[in-house]
Every structure is written in structure tokens, then in C-alpha cells.
């Protein structure tokens, strides 16, 4: 039976609050997830000064800079995250949005890397990640075949283990935009494992992705979809996360091996009905 790797994407849904981050980690453990994921940015390098100085009202002020920095954890917070995840026996990793952030993550003994869809075209960042040779989840939202080809070539050049993640980068995504048949298309084109990173509001699309052979599922999580934050509406609340994990594990059992076998129950019925 193939184990589907389930990641609870906390991302920036912690809203800069370490206690909220801990609660999200705790719930991910209780729901049976394999890992939690965050996002790391060097704000002044990811965004232009003009953009950061522009107006945006938020709990932290009235500029984009205040909002972005309010959502960003630094070393003190990630030290706490690292310790807390070890105590709770759950893996954590993060998607870096710039070179400095990937370098920052290297100070932790992480088993996984993640390439966000927005970063798939940043070949300098991909080279750096691939050189680490950690299993890397590569999201493919917004990307052309040529862009995915180049990303895959970089990871194969460095002999870095990876799996692609089918993804539609709308928040929230309409169910009819999921295009889950891409899971098989990506597997056939690249000969690699393919997971699913979902931004829909419910569970059924992610469950269908598992049934179609996704090797990993990643979903944003939140304590309340009505909370402040751009990703909250496309996230799962705790009850839905718990149901999704349980249902995915049921799908794993139901998929079986694909071999033609008669179960003991069938043998008994066969004896009765066929004599």
C-alpha cells in the first residue's frame, strides 16, 4: 500500500502569532498529517520598494511593507517551530521565495524542500535547492510545459529526488478548474511521482486527487476561514482537515495493489455460489 504524504500548509495563516502557529501545528498532529509547511521571504528582496511603500490597510499598519513584515517569522520564531515540531514528532519545512530565505532554512535539519509555483521560474533558486539533494515538492501552478521542463532538468542534473505537484494557483480555486487528469499527464511526461496542492474550499477534489494516484496532498489549514489573511478562504478548518486525512487513508486501503486476487471473503462466497 502506497502512503500518501499529507502536508498541512500553515503558510502565513499564523498571522505572525506564534501561539496560533503552535495551535495549527498541534491540530495537524492530531489530524494525522505527515508534515506542516511554512513560507519564508526576505521581504525587501522579494518585493520592490515602490510596492512595499504602497498603501495597504492591515493589523500592522497602512503599507504593504508593514503587512508583509507582520506576517514574517524570523529566527526566534523558527527556532520555536523547530523545537515544537520535534516535540510533537511531525516534520516541518518551508517554501523559500528568495535565495537568502533558502540559505536561512539550511540552519535547520529539514528532510524536505518545496518550490512554490511562483518560484518555479527562478532557476537560480532551483539550482540552490537541487544542490541540497533533499526530497523536493515542486508545485506547477501557472507554469507552461517549457517552464516545468527546465525545472525538472535542473533537479535531474543534480540527482535531487523530487515530485511534481499538480496545482491551480487561484485562491480559492473553483472545483471545475481542478483538471485532475493532469496528475496522470505529468506522471507520463516526466516519469516521476506527482502530488496535488489544492486551493479549493472543500475536500472532495483533494480526495479525488488521492484516488487518481496523487502521491502527496497539500492543503492550507486555518482555525477559522473568516480570519484575516489572503489564504484563509482557500484553507481547510480543523474539522474538514480531520475528515480529509481519514478519507485519504481509506482511499489508500481501497486502491489496493492492482493484482487479480480473490479475497478470503470472496473464496467463501465462491464456494457457496459456485459449489
Query: Which ranges of the chain have pLDDT less than 50?
Result: none
Burial (CB count <10 Å: 0-12, 13-18, 19+), residue 232: buried
Quick one: 233 exposed, middle or buried, by C-beta within 10 A (0-12, 13-18, 19+)?
middle
- Predicted local distance difference test score (pLDDT) of residue 170: 94
Total-model pTM: 0.95
Q: Could you give the CA distance from residue 264 to residue 32 in angstroms, rounded to a whole number?
A: 30
Helix, strand or coil, per DSSP, at residue 230: coil
| pLDDT reported for residue 99 | 98
Sketch the domain layout of the chain as residue ranges.
5-274
Architecture of domain 5-274 in CATH? Answer: Alpha-Beta Barrel (3.20)
- Cell numbers for 205: 477534489
**pLDDT value at position 2?**
82
- Work out the number of other CB atoms within 10 angstroms of the CB of residue 189: 15
Predicted pLDDT of residue 141: 98
Amino acid at each position: 500500500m502506497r502512503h500518501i504524504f499529507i502536508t498541512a500548509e500553515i503558510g502565513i495563516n499564523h498571522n505572525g502569532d506564534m501561539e496560533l502557529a503552535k495551535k495549527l501545528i498541534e491540530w495537524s498532529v492530531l489530524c494525522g498529517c505527515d508534515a506542516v509547511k511554512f513560507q519564508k521571504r526576505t521581504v525587501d528582496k522579494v518585493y520592490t520598494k515602490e510596492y512595499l511603500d504602497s498603501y495597504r490597510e492591515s493589523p500592522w499598519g497602512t503599507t504593504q511593507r508593514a503587512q508583509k513584515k507582520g506576517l514574517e517569522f524570523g529566527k526566534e520564531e523558527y527556532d520555536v517551530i523547530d523545537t515544537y515540531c520535534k516535540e510533537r514528532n511531525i516534520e516541518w519545512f518551508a517554501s523559500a521565495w528568495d535565495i537568502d530565505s533558502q540559505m536561512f532554512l539550511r540552519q535547520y535539519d529539514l528532510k524536505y524542500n518545496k518550490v512554490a509555483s511562483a518560484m518555479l521560474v527562478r532557476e537560480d533558486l532551483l539550482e540552490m535547492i537541487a544542490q541540497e539533494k533533499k526530497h523536493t515538492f515542486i508545485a506547477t501552478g501557472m507554469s507552461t510545459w517549457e517552464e516545468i521542463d527546465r525545472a525538472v532538468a535542473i533537479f535531474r542534473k543534480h540527482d535531487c529526488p523530487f515530485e511534481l505537484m499538480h496545482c491551480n494557483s487561484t485562491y480559492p480555486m473553483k472545483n471545475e478548474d481542478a483538471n485532475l487528469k493532469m496528475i496522470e499527464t505529468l506522471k507520463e511526461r516526466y516519469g516521476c511521482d506527482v502530488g496535488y496542492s489544492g486551493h479549493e474550499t472543500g475536500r472532495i477534489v483533494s480526495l479525488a486527487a488521492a484516488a487518481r494516484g496523487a502521491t502527496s496532498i497539500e492543503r492550507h489549514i486555518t482555525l477559522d476561514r473568516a480570519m484575516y489573511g489572503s489564504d484563509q478562504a482557500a484553507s481547510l478548518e480543523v474539522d474538514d482537515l480531520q475528515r480529509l486525512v481519514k478519507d485519504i487513508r481509506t482511499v489508500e486501503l481501497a486502491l489496493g495493489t492492482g493484482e487479480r486476487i480473490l479475497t478470503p471473503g470472496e473464496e467463501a462466497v465462491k464456494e457457496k455460489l459456485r459449489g
